[in-house]
Amino acid sequence: MAWWGWPVLTVGAMTIDAASFEPVYRQLARILREHIQAGELHAGQALPSEASLSQQFGVGRDAVRDALAMLRGEGLVITTRGIGTFVRGPADELAVVRVGLGTRVSARIPTADERLSLGIPEGTAVLVVARAGEPEQVLPADRTVVEVDDG
């Protein structure tokens, strides 16, 4: 950890290749994802600031924002405006939903009220399970497993 309190990510072989066909923001997201999955950045830990990541990896702040948005969408990080971006903990519990014929499952972005009631961060999708004659179920997509019944 650096003197200013942000973790210093050892870049080593993990560098951004500006000549690559892979967009810069995807390369950065991959590098950060690998740090999280390797445990170098653990649950609850703050990621370096956008400016710090931009400087450390030699990319623009738009690329950093896009990379963080990608990781938010994957459920790996949570961003709180004015505070920072933090590594999200693993799912404590997964909901298993069994679906069969006549059941419709769709994904969408939740409303602000749904985010609050489900306790999910901005950028995390929800699954809407609709069965005939029953109210729709709205479930956090990153904490739900859908199993399809065969018969």
pLDDT in tens, the chain (151 residues): 443 444 545 444 578 888 889 999 999 999 999 999 898 998 889 999 999 999 999 999 999 999 999 998 888 888 888 888 999 877 667 889 999 888 999 999 999 999 888 888 777 889 999 998 999 999 998 888 899 987 6
Phi then psi dihedrals of residue 122, to 5 deg = -60, 140
* 85 burial level (CB within 10 Å; 0-12, 13-18, 19+): buried
Range(s) within the chain of domains with CATH label 1.10.10.10 = 24-87
Cβ atoms < 10 Å from Cβ of 63 = 22
Q: Please check whether residue 77 is in contact with residue 126, taking contact to mean a CB–CB distance below 8 angstroms.
A: no
Neighbours of 86 (CB within 10 A): 17
Per-residue model confidence (pLDDT) at position 82: 86
CATH code 1.25.40.10 for 24-87: no
User: CA 125, CA 88: separation in Å to the nearest integer?
Assistant: 15
Q: pTM of the prediction?
A: 0.65
